[in-house]
Structure 1
C-alpha cells in the first residue's frame, strides 16, 4: 500500500517496488509506474494502485463426473497483474488520496472472476471421466487441463491478469461413495496383510518344527552317546572284573605256592627235628647203656617221682615196689642189651 503524506493543499505519495501506481488528471494519464514518489493535488488527482507481486487464490470447485457423481476439487490458482493500466480500467483499483487505501475490494473481484472461471474449467475437465477415473488418475491430468484452460481464457487476459498455474490439491467424492470405492483397495490390503500373517505363521510353524527336529536330533544323539557310555562302562566293569579275577588267581596261586613252600619247609623241619630227636634219643640211650643198673634205678625212681602227682603220704608195699622195679628193669633191658652188643 502506498504511503501518502498530507500537507496543506498538497499530498505526497510514495509507493513500493511491488505496486504500480497510475495517476489520471482530468481523464488523461499523468503518471504510471512502479515505485513512484510524487506530489499531487488531492482534489484533481485520480490514483490507482495495482499490485505486481504473485498471489495465491485457494478455491473449492464442485463438479459432476460422466457417471453423474458429485466431486469436490480443491484448487489453488497463482496469478499476477501483467498489464496494470488495463487492470486499472477493468477493476476498481483506485486508492484514497488521503489514506492510500483501496476504496473498493478489487481482490475480491479477481477472486470471484478466477473462481468462476476455474470452476467452469474443472467441470468441463471432469465431465468426460468417471468418478473412479477422476479419483484414481490423480491431480496431474486435471491440473494440466485447468492450467491450460485458464492460460487460454480471453477474460483473464482482458482483465490484465496472467495465470501462472493451477495446483489441484485433492479430488474428493461423497464420504460414503468414497468409502465404497476404497473398499476393494482395503480388501486387497487386508488380503495382503492376511497373506503376510499366514506366511509369518507358516514360517513360525516351520521354525518351531525345525527347532523340535533339532531337539529330537539332540535327544537321539544324547541317547546314542548314553548307550555308548553304558556299553563302555560295562566293558570297563568287565575288564575290571577280569583284571580282579586274574589278580585273585595270581594271588591264590602265589598263596598256594607259598603254602606249598611252607609245607615243604615244615616237613623238612619236622624231618630234621625227628632226625635230631632220634639222634638225641639214640645218644641218650647210648649214654645210659654204660651206666650201672643201680644208677639207672635211681634215676628212674627220681623221674617217676617227678612225674607223679603230689601226695601227702606214700605207702610202698613190697608188691608195688617189686612191680615197678620189674617194669623199669624191663624198660631198660633193651638198652642194656644194645650196649652189650
Structure 2
C-alpha cells in the first residue's frame, strides 16, 4: 500500500537495507518494513551449500580419468560478497535482479577444476585412483589460500572426492590386470600351501628317517655289545683251549716219558729173557732133541700129548700104510680144557 512493504528474511539469509546509498539496517533473519520506491534490499545467503563437480583430467602417464565430488561452502563475510556480486532483490522482495548468485558456485568450481588438474597431473593413473583423500586435501587447501575466494567472503567448509574413475577401456584393462594379479595371488597361495604340505611331508619323512637312523644305531650298539660279549666268550674259550693244550702238552710229555720208561723196561725185560733163553740154549746144546721133547712133554695135558703124537706120525707119514683113529680119541681131542687145566697150560 503506497509502496510500503514488509520483508522477513530467513536465519540463513543476511539482509541489508539500503536507503540513499547507505545501509540503514542489516543482519541475519532481519524483519523490516521498507518503502519500495526509495529502498534497495540486498539478501546474501549465509547458509552452507554444496556444489557438486565432475571433471575429466589427465594423469601424469597421459591417461584420462574422471574426478567427481563436491565442495561445501558458505558466505562468512556478506559485506564482501555483496561488494563483489549483485545480491539485490527485485521490488517483489523474492527474486534477484541478476544471476550473480547462481554464478557463485561456478566461480568456485572453476577454481576447483584448476586445483584438481594440478593435483592429478602429478600422479600416475594407478596412484590417482587411490588418492581421493589426497586430492580432496589439495583442493581444500588451495581454495582456502586463493585470494579470489577470500575476496568473495567465502569460507570453504570441506571438499570431498566421491570417485575417481578411468575410461571404460582403461577400467577393463585395469580390471583384467587386477583379476590376473588376484589369480596370481591365488596361485601363489595354492603353491605356498602345497609347498608347505611338501615341507611338512619332508619334515615327517626326515623325522621318520631320523627315527630309523636312531633305531639302526641302537641295533648296531646292541650288536656291537653282543659281538663284544661273543669276543669275550671266544677269548675265554681260547684261553681254556690254550690251558687245555698246555695241559695236553704236559700230559703228552709225561706220557712220552712214561712210554720211554716203559720201552726201556721192555728192553730190559727182553734182554733178561734173551739172556735166560741163551742160558737155556747153552744148557741144551748137545742134548738129543727127543730128550728135549720128552722134557717139554712133562706136565702136558693129554690132548697136547696126543697132538704131539699126531705131529710125530705126520713126520713119518710115508712109512705108515693105514691109521685108524677111534671116535673116543677124537672126542677127547675136541673137548675144551677145564679152567684150571687151561690156567696150568697158560702157565706152562
After TM superposition, the score normalised by the length of structure 2 is: 0.52
Distance in 1 (CA, whole Å) between partners of 2:76 and 2:30 is 18
- 1:152 partnered with 2:145: yes
- 1:110 partnered with 2:104: yes
How many positions carry a matched residue from both structures?
Answer: 195
Partner of 2:227: none
Question: What CA deviation, in whole Å up to 9, does each residue of 1:249-304 have, x standing for no partner?
Answer: xxxxxxxxxxxxxxxxxxxxxxxxxxxxxxxxxxxxxxxxxxxxxxxxxxxxxxxx
Is the contact made by 1:91 and 1:109 (CA closer than 8 Å) also made in structure 2?
A: no
Partner of 2:85: 91
Q: Of 52, 56, 76, which aligns to 1:62?
A: 56
1:1-341 equivalent positions in 2, closer than 5 A: 7-135=1-129, 137-192=130-185
Distance in 1 (CA, whole Å) between partners of 2:122 and 2:85 is 35
Counterpart secondary structure, 1:144: helix
Distance in 1 (CA, whole Å) between partners of 2:115 and 2:3 is 51
Is the contact made by 1:87 and 1:159 (CA closer than 8 Å) also made in structure 2?
A: yes
Offset, 1:191: 4.0
Offset, 1:19: 0.8
Offset, 1:98: 1.7
Runs of 4+ more than 3 Å apart: 190-200
Offset, 1:198: 9.7
Distance in 1 (CA, whole Å) between partners of 2:75 and 2:148 is 13
Distance in 2 (CA, whole Å) between partners of 1:12 and 1:113 is 33
Distance in 2 (CA, whole Å) between partners of 1:70 and 1:185 is 19
Residue segments in structure 2 that go unaligned for 5+ positions in a row: 194-348
Is the contact made by 1:48 and 1:93 (CA closer than 8 Å) also made in structure 2?
A: yes
Question: What CA deviation, in whole Å up to 9, does each residue of 1:299-338 have, x standing for no partner?
Answer: xxxxxxxxxxxxxxxxxxxxxxxxxxxxxxxxxxxxxxxx
Distance in 1 (CA, whole Å) between partners of 2:46 and 2:105 is 16
Counterpart secondary structure, 2:60: coil
Offset, 1:194: 6.3
Q: Give the direction of change, closer, same or farther, for the CA distance of 1:130–1:199 in structure 2 (3 Å limit).
A: closer
Distance in 1 (CA, whole Å) between partners of 2:46 and 2:93 is 20
Is the contact made by 1:61 and 1:75 (CA closer than 8 Å) also made in structure 2?
A: no
Question: What CA deviation, in whole Å up to 9, does each residue of 1:213-258 have, x standing for no partner?
Answer: xxxxxxxxxxxxxxxxxxxxxxxxxxxxxxxxxxxxxxxxxxxxxx
Two-structure CA RMSD over aligned residues (Å) = 2.3
Counterpart secondary structure, 2:80: helix
Is the contact made by 1:61 and 1:118 (CA closer than 8 Å) also made in structure 2?
A: no
Distance in 2 (CA, whole Å) between partners of 1:23 and 1:86 is 16
After TM superposition, the score normalised by the length of structure 1 is: 0.53
Is the contact made by 2:86 and 2:101 (CA closer than 8 Å) also made in structure 1?
A: no
Is the contact made by 1:93 and 1:104 (CA closer than 8 Å) also made in structure 2?
A: yes
Counterpart secondary structure, 1:87: helix
Offset, 1:99: 4.0
Distance in 2 (CA, whole Å) between partners of 1:88 and 1:173 is 40
Moved more, 184-193 or 76-85: 184-193
Is the contact made by 2:85 and 2:101 (CA closer than 8 Å) also made in structure 1?
A: no
